[in-house]
C-alpha cells in the first residue's frame, strides 16, 4: 500500500537516498536555485504555517535506503544548501559513477576552484554551479545584514520546509513509475495524492478487516463519481466556460471544498485535505465529498419537466449571463447557508 504524508526536512536527515541510473543527472540552473532560495527566504513561517515542496516519490530498498523515483533535483538542491551552511543533512548516493563522491566533497572542489575536475563531468558542473550560486546568495545576505542567514535560514529550511512524501509499495515497478512521471513530465495530481490519503491504512481506526472494507467502499464510490463526471454533459454543466478539465475530474469537487483559487500553489488542495482528514477524520471528509457530488447531480437532474423551468436552467442562466458567478460559487453558497 502506498504511503503519503508531509515530512519536515529535518526528519529526512537520518535517511539515505539512492538515485538510479535511469534518471538523468542534476540539472537545476542558477534561476531555479535562486527561485527556491528567494521563495524560502520570503516565506514568513509564522505560527503553524510551512513551505511545501513538490512531492518526493520514493521506494524503500531492502538495504533500508530509498530509491528516488521523482524529486531528486529538489532533494539535491536542499542537500547542497545545507552543505553550504555546513549543517548536518541526509545522504544522497548516485548510481552514476563519481557523482556521490563529488557531491560529498563539493565544498572542497568549489572553494579550491578545481576546474579540471568540475568541467570533466556535466553533473559536477551543475552541482558546483548550484553550490556557487547558494554561496554567493548567502554572502550577499550577510553583507546586507538582513538577518543571521545561516542560523535563521537553516531553521526555516529544516523545520518550516516540508516535502510531500509519497512512498510507493515495495512491489511497485519504480522504473515504470518514473517513466510515467517524467515522459512528458506528467506530475502527480492533487486527486492522486488525495486518493492515497483515503486508501492509507493509518488513517482508519477500525480493525484490519473493517478497514479493508472501508477502503474498498471508498475506492468503488470514487470510481463511480469519476465515471459520472466523465460524461461531458455533466462536466459542462458545472464547467460551462469550457476550461480544460483536470486529469481526474473529481478534483473539481476537491477544489470546491478546499476553496482553491488561481493564486494558490499547485498542491494547495492536497494540503487542505491533509489538514481536514487530521482534524475531522477520513470518513467525515469522504461524506463531505459525497454530499458535494450529490448536490451537483441533484441540480443537474432537475431538468425541465412538464414545461416548467428547473434549477438546471436557472443555474445555466446565471452562469452564462455573467462571468462573476460560477457553479463553484453556487455550491459554496448552498453548503454554507443551508
* Average pLDDT over every residue of 49-68: 90
Q: What SS3 state is found at 89?
A: coil
Domain locations along the chain:
3-182, 190-337
**Does the structure show a pLDDT above 60 at 307?**
no
Encode pLDDT of 222-243 as tens digits.
999 999 998 988 888 888 765 6
Strands of the 3-8 sheet, one edge to the other: 3-8, 161-167, 51-60, 66-70, 16-19, 91-94
Cell 514568513, residue located: 44
pLDDT tens for 91-106 read 999 988 888 899 999 9
Q: Are 322 and 243 in contact (CB under 8 A)?
A: no
Nearby residues of 176 by Cβ (< 8 Å), 6 or more positions away: none
Q: Which residue has the cell 463526471?
A: 229
Chain position carrying cell 451537483 = 296
189 band by pLDDT with thresholds 50, 70 and 90: confident
| Stretch among 2-16, 182-196, 305-319 having the lowest mean pLDDT | 305-319
Q: Name the pTM for this structure.
A: 0.77
Cα 10 from Cα 75, distance rounded (Å): 12
Amino acid at each position: 500500500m502506498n504511503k503519503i504524508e508531509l515530512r519536515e526536512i529535518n526528519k529526512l536527515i537520518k535517511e539515505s537516498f539512492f538515485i538510479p541510473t535511469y534518471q538523468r543527472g542534476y540539472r537545476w540552473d542558477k534561476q531555479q536555485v535562486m527561485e527556491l532560495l528567494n521563495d524560502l527566504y520570503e516565506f514568513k513561517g509564522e505560527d503553524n504555517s510551512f513551505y511545501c515542496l513538490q512531492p518526493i516519490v520514493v521506494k524503500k530498498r531492502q538495504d533500508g535506503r530509498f530509491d528516488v523515483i521523482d524529486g531528486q533535483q529538489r532533494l539535491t538542491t536542499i542537500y547542497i544548501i545545507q552543505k553550504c551552511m555546513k549543517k548536518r543533512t541526509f545522504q544522497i548516493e548516485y548510481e552514476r559513477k563519481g557523482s556521490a563522491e563529488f557531491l560529498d566533497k563539493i565544498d572542497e572542489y568549489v572553494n579550491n576552484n578545481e576546474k579540471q575536475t568540475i568541467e570533466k563531468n556535466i553533473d559536477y558542473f551543475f552541482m558546483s554551479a548550484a553550490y556557487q550560486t547558494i554561496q554567493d546568495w548567502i554572502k550577499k545576505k550577510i553583507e546586507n545584514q538582513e538577518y543571521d542567514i545561516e542560523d535563521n535560514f537553516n531553521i526555516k529550511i529544516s523545520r518550516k520546509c516540508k516535502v510531500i512524501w509519497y512512498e510507493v509499495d515495495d512491489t511497485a515497478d519504480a522504473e515504470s513509475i518514473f517513466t510515467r512521471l517524467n515522459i512528458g513530465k506528467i506530475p502527480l495530481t492533487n486527486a492522486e495524492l488525495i486518493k492515497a490519503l483515503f486508501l492509507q491504512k493509518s488513517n482508519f481506526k477500525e480493525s484490519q478487516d473493517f478497514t479493508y472494507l472501508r477502503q474498498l467502499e471508498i475506492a468503488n464510490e470514487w470510481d463511480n463519481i469519476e465515471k459520472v463526471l466523465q460524461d461531458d454533459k455533466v462536466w459542462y454543466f458545472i464547467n460551462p466556460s469550457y476550461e480544460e478539465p483536470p486529469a481526474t475530474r473529481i478534483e473539481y469537487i476537491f477544489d470546491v471544498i478546499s476553496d482553491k483559487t488561481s493564486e494558490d500553489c499547485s498542491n494547495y488542495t492536497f494540503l487542505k485535505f491533509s489538514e481536514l482528514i487530521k482534524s475531522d477524520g477520513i470518513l467525515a471528509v469522504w461524506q463531505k465529498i459525497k454530499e458535494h457530488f450529490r448536490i451537483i447531480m441533484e441540480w443537474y437532474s432537475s431538468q425541465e419537466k412538464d414545461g416548467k423551468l428547473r434549477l438546471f436552467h436557472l443555474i445555466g442562466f446565471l452562469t452564462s449571463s455573467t462571468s462573476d458567478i460560477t457553479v463553484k460559487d453556487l455550491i459554496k453558497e448552498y453548503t454554507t447557508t443551508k
